[in-house]
Each structure stands twice: as C-alpha cells, then as structure tokens.
Amino acid sequence: MKRILLLCSLLILSFSLHVYAQTIPICAANKAFTFGEKITYKAKYSLYVDVPVGELKVQIQPNAQEMNGSQCFHITAKAKTFGFYDPFFKIRDNYESFMEISTMKAMYSSRDVNEGRFSFNETVVFDQNAKTAKSKKRTQHIPDTTFDVLATLYYARSIDFTDAKPGQQYMFSTFIDDSAYRVGMEYVGKEVIKTEAGKFRCIKLKPLLVKDRIFKSKDGMALWITDDDNHIPVLVESGISVGSVRVELDAYENLRNPVTSKL
C-alpha cells in the first residue's frame, strides 16, 4: 500500500534521475504556466481494474510573492490518501516552493511529509548567487541549475521539445533530503494518452530513478506531458511487483495557454 500511495508525491519527484547528458541553460524562457494554475491528479492501483487510492493537488498562487528580495511564483502541492485507506496507510504530504519569476531559480522550499508512522519536515533557503542551500542541518554548496522538487517539475515544463530526438537527455540538479542530486530526463517520443480529464496528444519522457528510492528498475517509470505549450503532466505510470500504479490527470483550470493537445 505504501508504494502505491507514494506515487501521489512521485509526480513531483519524477524527474529525479542519475544519468549523464546535456545541461539545460538556467535562463530557459517560461511559456508553459502562470499565476492561478490549478491541476488535480488521482493515484490509482491497477491489477484487473483501476482503484483510486489518493489524490494530488498542485497549484500556483494567484499573485506574485516576494522572497529574499525577488518576485516569485508561490507553488504548493498537497498529496493525500482517500479516507477509506487512511486506516491502512494515511498520507498527508505538503510541498511548497518559491520560484523566481524571471529566472525560475529556486528561492525557498518546504516539505511536510506524513506517511503512516513516518513524518519528516524540511525547509531550504537557496542563495543562488552564493550557490548555497541552507537547511535545518547545514549550509552547503550547490551546483548551478539546482532546484527544489516542485521547482524542478515547473522548470522542466518550460523546456522546448520541438526538435528533441528519441534518446535525448536533459540534466540539472534537485535538492532533496538535505542533498543536491544530479537529475534529468530522457525524451522517448509522442503518444496519445486517455485519462478521466480527456484524451491528449502527449510527449513521453523517461525518468531514471535514484537507486533504492522506492522503485528499483530504472525503466520502471514513464511520464507523459501534453504536447502543447502548457506541458501539463498527464500521467505517471510504474510497474510494481503485482500490478501497476498510475498518477493520472483529473482536472485543470486557469492554464496559461489553450489545450490544443486535447482530442
């Protein structure tokens, strides 16, 4: 049950990889998202039928917020199990990120994780000029192009895949669990994906997960985003020992661009 429900949070973490490829410039232009965007996902366990077990809500607050002298997107994400499953394994995870509007650099992040009997809280203040990240435990040096987990997802949405070829890889760094990890993703191709929110033309990407983090197979997870200017994550899917798990788009509102990928 724990591995099934953690996929609510894994949508946020789905770019956590260990691969080697080209580095994405920090100054990529954002044409994919804006203030007020709200997206909801359902987490499902699939064996013979799909069984909804939880949900994830991700949104950008309606107005710019100031953090450390910079105007920022204030992004939040909340993952939870449905009430029926709480007695078996209750999840209440909250993520928060302040992302500088002009550069998309991470300025501040927090994670409040409550999963069964496990709880964890982390806050990080980023100084991108000094290239440091200050958590509760320590202040440490970070590489260029380092993001928190939420900012990683939104920054990745800004990438232009127009000329991408199958096998092309993209690299940056994500700060999680008090450390910066080399991360990225691989472009696979294009497919049509059907969800409760509709049928979409999608770009397929392959995250290669950090070793020993929940799922062992580097090929065990795939991510699909809309093949339009929004690049909304539509589906995250992964096999487990019995059946499979899916985090699937359920609803969206206040997008920056028309959803031209919807069929």
- pLDDT reported for residue 79: 86
Query: What residues make up the domain containing 131?
Result: 2-253
Per-10-residue mean pLDDT for the chain, 263 residues long? 46 40 51 94 72 86 91 92 78 90 89 82 89 89 83 87 88 78 84 93 80 46 92 81 73 96 96
Q: Residue 83: helix, strand or coil by DSSP?
A: helix
How far apart CA 211 and CA 20 sit, in angstroms, is 15
In a domain, 258, yes or no: no
In a domain, 262, yes or no: no
In a domain, 230, yes or no: yes
Q: Residue 3: helix, strand or coil by DSSP?
A: helix
In a domain, 169, yes or no: yes
How far apart CA 121 and CA 125 sit, in angstroms, is 14
> What are 137's two structure tokens?
């435990």
- pLDDT reported for residue 229: 95
Which sign, positive or negative, has the C-alpha torsion 106, 58, 81, 11? negative
- Whichever domain contains 57, its CATH number is 2.40.360
How far apart CA 237 and CA 43 sit, in angstroms, is 10
End-to-end alpha carbon distance in the chain: 34
In a domain, 263, yes or no: no
In a domain, 158, yes or no: yes
Q: Residue 10: helix, strand or coil by DSSP?
A: helix
Q: Which helix (H) or strand (E) holds 18?
A: none
Q: Which pairs with CB-CB distance under 8 Å and at least 24 residues apart come from 83-89?
A: 85/1, 85/5, 85/53, 85/54, 88/1, 89/1, 89/2, 89/5, 89/115, 89/116
Q: How many domains does the chain have?
A: 1
- pLDDT reported for residue 213: 45
* pTM for this entry: 0.83
In a domain, 117, yes or no: yes
For the chain, the maximum distance between any two Cα atoms, rounded to a whole number of angstroms, is: 52
In a domain, 213, yes or no: yes
**Residue 138 identity (one-letter amino acid):** R
3-state SS of the chain: helix, strand, coil percent to 5?
Answer: 10, 50, 40
Per-residue three-class SS string for 143-171: CCCEECHHHHHHHHHCCCCCCCCCCCEEE
- pLDDT reported for residue 96: 94
